A and B are shown apart, each in its own frame.
Chain A
C-alpha cells in the first residue's frame, strides 16, 4: 500500500458498525464473525466448498443407509403385527422353508393373541406372453388382509382380487418383468395370471419384480403345500406384553419353529443385511468412511477459519474481553461456515438423492428426518471445531503477544 494511506482494517469497520447500531454483544459477535468471513471472499468460497462437499457425502451416505435399512423391512412395515413365527432356517424375508399353518391356530389358543395371519413368499418364473421371456418374480401370498395390512392400496387391492387367476403387480418392478399394465397376461408355471392392480414396494433385493396373490391361490402357483406357510404373524390382545406372549407361544409351537417379537424380527432383518449381506456391509462401511473423512474435513476447514484469526482473538483477550465474547465470535464464525456449506450440500444432495430414488426406488429423497440429522451434525461439528481451536486462546498468555 502507498505510504500515508490508512488501511481500512476490519477492526475499524467492526467498531464503526458496532457503535453505529449499538447492538447487544450477541449481535456484535455475528457482525464480527460475518465481517471476518467476508474479508477474504475467495478463501471463504474455498472453505464453503470444502464443507459442502464433505456434508454432501455425509448426506448421501446417511440417506442411502437409512433408505436401505428401511427397504429391507419395507414389506414387514406394511403389516400390523406384534409377533412372528418362522422356520428355524429363517435368515431373512426370502426364505424357502415353511411352518405348519397349525401355528396360527396355536397362537390364537394361547389367549394372548387376538388375530393370526399367514404370509407366504417364494420366487417363481414369470413368463411373458407370447414372447416367453422369463424373469424371476418374488411372489407374496396373503390371507384375508383384515387389520394386518397397513397399506390401504394393498389391502383394497387384495380384497378386490375377484378372479383366482389375478394378481397385484409391483409398479416398481424392473423392465425385465415386461409390461405392467392392468390386463397383462403372463404365465407362472403352467398357470396364466392377469395383472388386476398395482402396489408400490420396489423389493429389488429379491427378484426382478414382485406380485401379491391370495394365499388360496399361492399353493397352485408355487407347488406349495396349502397346509404350510412361510411366516405366521400375530396381533396381541390389548395390554398383553410381547415378551410374555412370545414365551407362551414358544412353549407350544412345533420344533424347528422360531418366535420373534416385531422389533426382534425387524432388527434381525437389518442386522442380516448390514452384517452378512455384502451390499449392506459395503453401504455401511461407505457411510463410516464418509463420516470419518467428512468430519475431519469439516473440523479442519472450520478450525482453520478460526485459527486464521488467532492473533485477533488474543488481542481481544488482552483487552479484557470475556471468554464468552471470544468464543462467541469464533463459534459464530464456525457455525456460519458450517451452515453456509450445508445449504449447497443439501441442494445438490437433494437432486442426487432424488435421482437415486428415481432409479432404484430407495426412499432416499431429502426429508425432515435427514434434514434434522444433517443440521445436528453440522452444528455439532462447527461448535466442536471452534471450541477446540479457541481453547488455545483461552490457555494462551496475552503477554506473549509482545
Chain B
C-alpha cells in the first residue's frame, strides 16, 4: 500500500500551527530515543576510546587483562620477545598508571590516568605528533588532556602542577577524552616515568608489523613464540571486546535500552493520537469520499501518507532538540555523546516504524466513516 503523501501532506499543512504541535508531539518520542541511544553509544565509545586511539597493528597484553580498566601489566621481556618475531618492525611499550593531580585552585588531589611512552613513537593518533614528541623530549613535564573533567582545575602551559606531590611542568595539551571510570589523562615520556618508578611494567605493547607482512600471520607467530600468559589482539578486536564487556557488565545499559523502548512507545502513541484527531476532524469529508465511491484502501493511503509526513517532521524536530540535549550531556559528562550518522539512521528507521505502526492502528478509524450518516 503506497502512501498518498501529497494529499496527506496538504491536509496537514493546512493548519501549520497544528502541524508544528503534532511534529513536536512525535518529536518527544524521537528525543527520548535519540538521547538514550546517544548515552548508550557514548558510553560504549568512551570505554573503547583508547583501543580506537592507539597506533599499532596489534596490541600485546597480559592474558588476565580482559578489559582495558584492569591493571594487569605485562613484563617488558614479553615485548622484547615479540619484537624478535619475524614480521614485527617494532614494539612500542605503553605504560599506564593512576597518579594524584593537585587542583591548583582548591588544592584537592584527584586521581588521573598517566600514560608514558617513548617520545619518538607516539602510541596514540593525536594531532601534531611532532610537537608532542618534541615537548616530551625537551622538557621533563607532562602534557595535559584538555578533555579531562573540570575537577582538575584550570592551568596553563608552563604552570607547575603537583603530580603525586612532585611539581611538574605543564608542557602542552592533547585531546583524548575521559570515560566512565577515568576522569582525565596526562602524557609523560617513558624516561621520565621510569626515572620515578624504575620497576614499572608496561600495560601493553603496540606491535608494528613490517610493510608487506600479514598482520594475522605475525599475530599467530607471536602467540606461538611466546608463553601463554599473553594475548594479542588488533585494536579493532580490542575495541569490540571492550564494547561487549561494557554491555555485559554495566547495569546502566539496561536502563538506556528500556528508556529507548519507552521513547518508541511514546512516539507511537503520540503519532496515533495526532492521526486519530486528523481522521476525527475530517470524518465527514472521508465519509463523503466514500459516498463518491472511493474505497477504504484509498483513504487508508491518505492516512499512511500523513504518518510518513509526521515521521519526517517529528524526526527533524526531534533531531534538533536531541542534538542540543546531547551537546549539554557531552559537556557535563565529558563523554563522546552526540548525534552521528549511525544513530541518525537508527533513530530515523525507528521513527518511520513508530509512525507507520501508529498509522496502521489509526486507519481502522477510517472504516467508521459512514457515508449514510451524512444524511
Contacts and interface: CB of A to CB of B under 8 A. Distances in A.
Same complex for A and B? Answer yes
B255 A293 contact: no
A376 interface: no
Contacts of B255: 60, 64, 283, 286, 356
B266 A282 contact: no
B36 A286 contact: yes
Interface of B: 25, 28, 31-32, 35-36, 39, 43, 46, 64, 70, 72, 100, 107-111, 149, 151, 178-180, 183, 249-252, 254-256, 258-259, 262-263, 265-266, 269-270, 272-273, 276, 325, 328-329, 332-335, 365, 373
Contacts of B70: 136
Given A89-B109, A89-B110, 10 more contacts: A46-B272, A57-B266, A60-B258, A88-B108, A89-B108, A278-B180, A279-B252, A286-B255, A296-B28, A356-B255
A269 to B, nearest CB: 15
A1 interface: yes
A289 B252 contact: no
Given A60-B258, A360-B251, A279 B180 contact: yes
Contact of B262 (A60, A64, A278): A60
Interface in A260-292: 275-279, 281-283, 285-286, 289-290
A360 B255 CA distance: 10
B332 A285 contact: yes
Chain A interface main SS type: helix
Contact of B252 (A174, A283, A290, A297): A283
A387 interface: no
Nearest to A293: B28
A96 B265 CA distance: 45
Interface string A160-182: 00000000000000100000000
Nearest to B326: A285
Nearest to B328: A285
Given A57-B262, A88-B107, A276-B149, A281 B332 contact: yes
Interface stretch (A47-55, A114-122, A190-198, A322-330): A47-55
Interface residues of A, number: 46
Contact of A290 (B32, B183, B328, B334): B32
B254 A356 contact: yes
Contact of B35 (A43, A289, A297, A301): A289
A134 interface: yes
B266 A297 contact: yes
A297 B329 contact: no
Nearest to A40: B280
A54 B273 CA distance: 14
A91 interface: yes
Nearest to B372: A2
A278 B31 contact: no
Contacts of B334: 278
